[in-house]
Amino acid sequence: MTAEPEPATTAAIAVPHTGHEAPSSAVERAVHNYLRHVTVERGLSANTVAAYRRDLALYAHWLAEEGITDPAAVTSNHVSDFVRHLGTREEEPLKASSIARVLSSVRGWHRFLLDEGTTETDAAHETKPPKLGSRLPKAITIEQVEALLDATRGDEVQQLRDHALLELLYATGARVSEAVDLNVDDVIDREVVRLLGKGGKQRIVPVGSFARAAIDAYLVRARPVLSRRGTATPALFLGLRGQRVSRQNAWLIIRAAAARAGLDVEVSPHTLRHSFATHLLAGGADVRVVQELLGHSSVATTQIYTLVTADTLRDMYTSAHPRAR
C-alpha cells in the first residue's frame, strides 16, 4: 500500500537500469540517462524518481514487446497505442488518472530525448491524456475523524506512536511523506511543525492542543523505547525496530485504525489531509490561509475543497428547508 496515486502494475516487468546491471537496449539506456538527469540535474525527490522509474519500466517493457529497442524508432502512433493498451489490457487496466500520470512520465522522457539530440522529434508531443472526470476530494466527517483517532488510544508504545501520528496528520494536513520525513527537531517549541513539501518547499504549520498532547506523550513515553531498538536516528516517528516509519507503514497504521473504528469508508493518509482542509473551510477559514497550510502552489487547487463544502451545505439545505424540493 502507498500514499501516492494508484501505481502502475510492474509485476513481471524488467525495471530499467538502477545501477546494478547494464541496460540491455538503447531504450533502457535512454531511460537510465533520463532518471539520472531528473535525480542529479533537476534534483527531484526520491519518491518522484521512483514513480518515473515505475512508469518508464512499464513503457520500456511494452516497447520491447512491440519489437522497439531504439528510441528513435518510436512514433506518435506507438505512444497512442501504448495509452490505449494501459486502459484496455486484460491484467489490471489502469484508471484514467493513472494513465494520465504514466503518460506524463513518458512525455517527459521524450522531451528529454529531443533536447539531448537522441531523437529528431518528440513522439509523445501530440498524445493527449484521457479526460478525467471531476473528482472531488474525499473527506470524512468530524465524528468519523474522532472515531479514527480514538481507535489508536492506549498506553502501549505502538498505540502512543500511532495516536501521535494520526493526530499530527489531521492537525496539520500534512502529506504522509511529509509526516514520516519529520525529525524531532522539526517540532518547534511544541507550537508548530516544519514541513518539507513538494519541490523542497518548507512551510511552518501550527499544531493544535490535541496533537501537541499526543506528540508529547509519544516523545516522553514511547520514542525512547523505540529508539533503543535501533541505531540512532533523528526521525520523529519510529518503527518497532527503531527505524524511521515508512509511508507504507503509515498506510497500514491508518487502515488498521479505520478497521478498529468500524468505519465503512476507505481511509488513507490523504483522507485526513482532505478532511483537514474541508473542515477548516467549513469552519470559516480563508481559502488563502488553507492554501498556505496545505502547501499548494496555486489557490485553484485549494478551491476544490470549497466545492465539497458547498455540496454539504446544499445537501443540508435540501433536506431541511420546507420549500427546497
pLDDT band at 250 (very low <50, low <70, confident <90, very high): very high
Helix (H, G, I), strand (E, B) or coil at 203: strand
- The span from the CA of 14 to the CA of 23, in Å, is 10
**What CATH number has the domain bearing residue 14?**
1.10.150.130
| Residue 136 within a domain | no
Q: Verify that 182 and 109 share a domain, yes or no.
A: no
N- to C-terminal Cα distance for the chain? 43
Domain end call among 110, 131, 152: 131
**In terms of pLDDT, which residue wins out, 41 or 319?**
41
Query: Which of 102, 81, 107 has its CA nearest to residue 5?
Result: 102
Residue from 131, 31, 127 nearest 78 by CA:
127
| Per-residue b or e along 232-247, where b marks 16 or more CB atoms closer than 10 Å to that residue's CB | eeebbbbbeebebbbb
In this model, does residue 50 exceed pLDDT 80?
yes
Task: Report the domain count for the chain.
Answer: 2
Query: For residue 325, is it within any domain?
Result: no
Scanning the structure block, which residue is given the C-alpha cell 478497521? 259
For residues 215 and 281, state if they share a domain: yes
- CA-to-CA distance for 125 and 138, rounded, in angstroms? 33
Within this chain, do residues 300 and 174 fall inside the same structural domain, yes or no? yes
Classify burial at 28, counting beta carbons within 10 Å of its beta carbon; exposed 0-12, middle 13-18, buried 19 or more: buried
pLDDT at 77 over 80: yes
Predicted local distance difference test score (pLDDT) of residue 72: 95
> What is the pLDDT at residue 303?
59
Residues 87 and 226 grouped into a single domain = no
Same domain, 98 and 146: no
**187 lies in the same domain as 243:** yes
CATH number of residue 158's parent domain: 1.10.443.10
Asked whether residue 175 falls in the same domain as residue 98, the answer is no
Average of per-residue pLDDT values in the chain? 84
Are 123 and 75 in contact, with CB atoms under 8 Å apart? yes
- What is the domain extent for residue 1? 1-131
Please indicate, yes or no, if residue 137 is contained in any of the structural domains: no
Determine, yes or no, domain membership for 311.
yes
Judge if 199 and 291 occupy the same domain. yes
202 has pLDDT over 80: yes
Pair (61, 185) in one structural domain: no
Annotated catalytic sites, by residue? 175, 198, 270, 273, 296, 305
Kind of pairing between the strands at 202-206 and 192-196: antiparallel
Instruction: Give the DSSP H/E element, type plus range, for residue 33.
Output: helix 26-36
How far apart, in whole angstroms, are the C-alpha atoms of residue 149 and residue 238?
A: 19
Q: Has residue 68 got a pLDDT over 80? A: yes
The answer on 101 and 201 residing in a single domain is no
Question: Could you tell me if 225 and 307 lie in one domain?
Answer: yes
Q: Mean pLDDT throughout 166-190?
A: 91
Q: Answer yes or no: do 78 and 170 share one domain.
A: no
Helix (H) or strand (E) holding 194: strand 192-196
Phi, psi of 190 (to 5 degrees): 65, -10
Q: Decide which of 179 and 295 is more confident.
A: 179
At residue 196, the 3 state secondary structure works out as strand
